[in-house]
Structure 1
Amino acid sequence: MVDPDRLGWNDRRASEMPPGEDLVPARVAVEHRGAYDLLGMGDDLAEGARVSADLRDRASGRLDFPAVGDWVAVRPGAGPRGADLIEAVLPRTSLFVRRAPGRDPRPQVVGTNIDTVFIATSLDGDLNPRRLERYLAVVHGGDAEPVVLVTKTDLVSEGRELDRARALVASVAPGVEVVPTSVTTGEGLDRLVELIPEGRTAALVGSSGVGKSTIVNAMMGREVQQVAPTR
């Protein structure tokens, strides 16, 4: 069983639950077309939850529907063929959106209720101040805390290169914590764990090839993300 408290459930969120003795809280882990997989309802992952007709009628647009990271009020087994029904989306503490693919102008929710966003950039040529500024703007706009990860520190032979990277990050992100990391040497991994205490939610973003999947696998202690060769 996944304890809701470990997922970020607290007294404030409990006070936001709509009335109804048969409603239980859950958190959206995966969004499919018209269906959602939920955490915190007793099983490791409750699959195939649906939006209730009442919630669908109240929604005025995409942003009113559940998204990954949302806390939702669920009526277990009340839907067709025993599916769990999502009756309400609880207030969000952070929201990340992007423009939908193609010509659709409507915003698409990427994630919600994220506390910390790790922005990964590597020392093997990826460090780009303009790109970093764009990431920081998105994180601040979503009301989350940014942390910059300078990855692959084992690839540099001199500390001066890391010092230059720190100075570059400080020039575009004053006050933002910088964590040098290397999965090869283990540098910085303990600090990442400290930055995600129980009950907090983190996201990891960055360009392809900066080591995101490798970091996730190292922190999980097993391969949960496929690692592609760096080109």
Structure 2
Amino acid sequence: MTLAPADGGRRSRRGFLYQDAVTLLDCLDMLDGHWTEVSWEDLEDILCLRGDVPFYRQVKTVEGPGKRHSIADVCRPDMSKEKANRTAESSYLGKLFMGKPLPEGTRFTLIVNETPLADLYSFACERDGKRQPVSSATHTKVVGKLAGLSLRDGRDVGWCVDRFDVLITARTTEDVESEAFRRLYPLIRDYLGQEPLVPEVDEVLSGLVQYIARSAAGLRPRSHTAEDFRTILDRCHRLAQ
């Protein structure tokens, strides 16, 4: 399923450290058997596969206090576009839902680094869990704001909203990396057969994030299996010794 990225081009490296760290968590989830493949800057910021079923994951962070996402916010057209292009297609959810294969089982996740307002929070789920059903009023509100989207495979906006989640992650890149550190520690301990030193784990963590960053800036996306990523982890571990 590796095709051109949704925005039409591979990204530059400025301002994406948070997304790289979140991508690392999804790769570690893959090592735990949660995904069969993970790619990034593909059809979405992060594309996770479970068999042939896609999980499209878009990362949207906010900087500074006081900013919280809402349904209106994530459905709002991009005001930086020319007036004729300020449509639902340019909104966060419009971009998340559009331009992708939508087979049965598809899910969409908006990953945010703050607790959203109550209407959007109703879509919240745990990293490894499922969200609760949302009210019909909330469902209708999102569908109404995204009216007119043209989706693939005969799907409509309501179908996508039924499969939409919000994942609330740590506030800063450092916080996300701290979570990755905790998860990497036992893996490196198993490699060594003894307790690793903090700098050793930090070196491996840094190497993995740098790998994700370099790959994201490449010409084409690459899909990684658990075996692929374990090989990369082994390489980073050897370099850190």
Q: Same fold (TM over 0.5)?
A: no
Structure with greater strand percent:
1
Q: Normalising by the residue count of structure 2, what TM-score does the alignment of the two structures yield?
A: 0.26
Q: Normalising by the residue count of structure 1, what TM-score does the alignment of the two structures yield?
A: 0.27
Select the structure of larger CA radius of gyration. 1
Structure with greater helix percent:
2
- Higher RCO (Cα < 8 Å, 6 or more apart): 2
